[in-house]
Chains A and B, each alone.
Chain A
């Protein structure tokens, strides 16, 4: 654990990518292989089990810190990170633990079988055994959130440098549902066929956005200058669903989401067509709700994403289908090296063979001869229930991660509205102790009605200024929330709007974010609820 605590400290002590990679390499070289795999799991979002309820951990920490509970809560709002708050509030001690990360995680996992009394005793003893930094990472393990400001790419880069295995291969090998208890470092670095593990997905290829703002749109000429002749490109609608990789291998099926969550059971409608695919097939596409052959808005799909159990009603109200747009594996062969056009031919063949054409759909290609034509077509996106257009270079292979050059997303302008900030809350992580989470309102007659929350979109400098304003213009405090003097106007962008019975305003927005601060607008000139509701029918 010393090494793991030091890893955190060292990562915090530099802002430079190269140094971070060096720190990661030093760590890999220093620790036993099992620790390497645990670290890899943690840094790639594979959370350890959490056998102790976080409210109980919090209560024990309050006891160990010897301060009133309210002061603990206030401290948490200042620090913005529970693990860090706990480690700062407990009295310092001179001890330090020589147990490895693997040993600690094993101990944590054992707590599942213990009584509450035993867990508490173990936790108090453990805290007393650790110094502040060790305690911080230990608390991180217990509370399970590992956002450390180090991307998976950096970890992979460090590992690639050490093992001599190239980064895309490593990225592939750490995909899917392994746990450090059942995947060894030796297995990771051995010459292997990545498909040995039949459930393992390929790393997703992600499109790069064509950068536009509402004031500065790209015209056909600029697109042409950047991308070249239109005949080198294939265009599809950008579907607004859940990105999914669908696997049929060894008689089994697996559906993986972009976040590498295994979502097979979430989409039973897809099972028949997947089971009917030839073994050794992997498709990439989008899962959407469909009704009468037409895609439905994302909000319909959203209602079933979070559910543990899919009721009959949900399955009837928001049935899903897949729109496939790529084939990554065919007859057991990894065909990512083939060109987009070649893969498209294979995909079309597979789709033609299916007996479930309503469920196994294919993303149709948009016909266009010039960029001007495509620009016009793009205007149809909203009518197509699409977010815009995807451009894929016909000669391109299927790559790993977000890469500039061969896949582009050309989204339509977000919808937008000018709104007044009325509530604010402090953020977390690097935005701790700063007011960064805002609630916005529009006019309903002479009243301001809250309709959306947004966290992002401002620069650090703007955040500082808004924070300064909030601290001096608070009307009321409700726990961590402040009512702010209505004065600041922001342009809020969003992807979609729906009726909602859960919100006072009667509407719910999709992906609301701050487009810009309207210094030029007094609050009286913010938009009205009426104008927002008018968008419902569009």
Chain B
């Protein structure tokens, strides 16, 4: 591939960071815009990336039903990984990001210059999302939610062994098991890795709605049972309850008493963050890349420049520059700073939006909030 480059002083870069989102002027489209636009390409269906109000949406096939469930009747076109689309001469394609089911990196190419927008990603294969695939590019726009060296994930097999053991211990002690994780991504990842010999999996409505959307999309998930007012408490105690962060500390959760409550999030890596959420058990499990994962992913793109959109952008950029990358924070354009992705605002508010689609809150949230990881405060 011939890299033509561009004149830094004269021409506009192929992609710009605007107050609406990442914009391609040549192709007249936005990627994950947070204000209403004509043409929006969506990396994945989490609320901080897929906003309401655009005229046209383009996303991966596997995001289809979840987007329709979350955003209602939108004008949505979906494509396959690797499929190519041309807009005003700009070539657009999608590659797996491994973050959640249907999450994609967006590859944008014009006259030999290639940009890749990571959206959110993780490098470990979680067994349910199409695994992350590094894409060669000149410019890589990356998240860095966990871009500090204190974040280092264990292989998920080890974590799930702990989860399943904890579940067994709870069964032994006759207490209910409540496991908390975000409704899109974490919930399904957990579901597919539980030892179902222990018992049945019961789900909170928000999670079950997402499961149903994914099943409509042809995703095969382990069986689950929605918890309703008729569900017997005794039965639920013999199984495991999958709940979203919004349910923590609510009467809905308290009615399962006595229970042990576990929280699955990358933030659980730190004792302080764990104690803040007042969980009985914190399982360090993230749908984002850890420190080593981020560096290896960026390295694998062979990029000339890397732009950091959200997470610990300042320190991560500094470190990348020290080890020889040309890294830039794009916080002025995103209103983000290094901690943007830490668990604020509370995901409880976000998860409620799943149900309510409250437009006011959509506006209040800017890009870069990684609500998929968030924990907020219990009680």
Interface residues of A (CB under 8 A from B): 12-16, 65, 67-68, 70-71, 74-75, 78-81, 84-85, 88-89, 92, 149, 428-434, 460-461, 464-465, 467-468, 471-472, 474
Q: Is the CB of A433 within 8 A of B345?
A: no
Q: Complex: how many Å from CA A13 to CA B273? A: 13
Q: Complex: how many Å from CA A472 to CA B280? A: 31
Q: Can you name 9 A-B residue pairings with CB atoms under 8 Å? A: A68-B322, A71-B149, A80-B270, A429-B272, A431-B272, A461-B377, A468-B344, A472-B337, A472-B366
Q: A431 to nearest B CB, angstroms?
A: 7
Using an 8 Å CB-CB cutoff, how does the interface string of B330-361 with A read, 1 for contact, 0 for none? 00000101011010111000000000000000
Known: A67-B149, A68-B322. A464 touches B345 (CB 8 A): yes
Q: In the assembled complex, which residues on chain B have CB atoms less than 8 Å from the CB atom of A81? A: 271-272
Chain B at the A interface: SS class: loop
Q: B248 to nearest A CB, angstroms?
A: 12
Known: A432-B272, A433-B273, A460-B276. A85 touches B150 (CB 8 A): yes
Q: B284 to nearest A CB, angstroms?
A: 11
Q: Complex: how many Å from CA A78 to CA B147? A: 11
B154: nearest chain-A partner, CB-CB: A92
Q: Complex: how many Å from CA A16 to CA B149? A: 32
Which of B264-288 touch A at CB < 8 Å? Answer: 269-276, 278-281
Q: In the assembled complex, which residues on chain A have CB atoms less than 8 Å from the CB atom of B318? A: 70-71
B115 sits at the interface (CB 8 A)? no
6 extra interface residue pairs, beta carbon distance < 8 Å, beyond A80-B272, A433-B270, A460-B377: A15-B279, A88-B150, A429-B275, A433-B273, A464-B346, A472-B335
B148 sits at the interface (CB 8 A)? yes
Most buried by A among B279, B280, B376: B280
Q: Is the CB of A15 within 8 A of B148?
A: no
Contact partner of A433 (CB less than 8 A), chosen from B315, B342, B376, is: B342
Q: Is the CB of B315 within 8 A of A71?
A: yes
Q: In the assembled complex, which residues on chain A have CB atoms less than 8 Å from the CB atom of B335? A: 472
Q: Complex: how many Å from CA A430 to CA B346? A: 16
Q: Classify chain B: how many residues form its interface, as a range.
A: 20 to 34
B224 sits at the interface (CB 8 A)? no
Q: In the assembled complex, which residues on chain B have CB atoms less than 8 Å from the CB atom of A472? A: 335, 337, 366
Known: A75-B148, A88-B152. A471 touches B344 (CB 8 A): yes
B319 sits at the interface (CB 8 A)? yes
Q: Is the CB of A75 within 8 A of B340?
A: no
Q: Is the CB of B269 within 8 A of A71?
A: no
Q: Is the CB of A74 within 8 A of B272?
A: no
B34 sits at the interface (CB 8 A)? no
B312 sits at the interface (CB 8 A)? yes
Q: In the assembled complex, which residues on chain A have CB atoms less than 8 Å from the CB atom of B270? A: 78-80, 84, 88, 432-433
Q: In the assembled complex, which residues on chain B have CB atoms less than 8 Å from the CB atom of A464? A: 344-346, 376-377
Closest 4 CB pairs of A and B: A432-B272, A430-B275, A88-B150, A460-B377
Q: Complex: how many Å from CA A14 to CA B173? A: 14
Q: A33 to nearest B CB, angstroms?
A: 29
Q: Is the CB of B276 within 8 A of A430?
A: yes
B173: nearest chain-A partner, CB-CB: A19
Q: In the assembled complex, which residues on chain A have CB atoms less than 8 Å from the CB atom of B279? A: 15
Most buried by B among A15, A16, A68, A92: A15
Most buried by B among A70, A81, A84, A434: A434
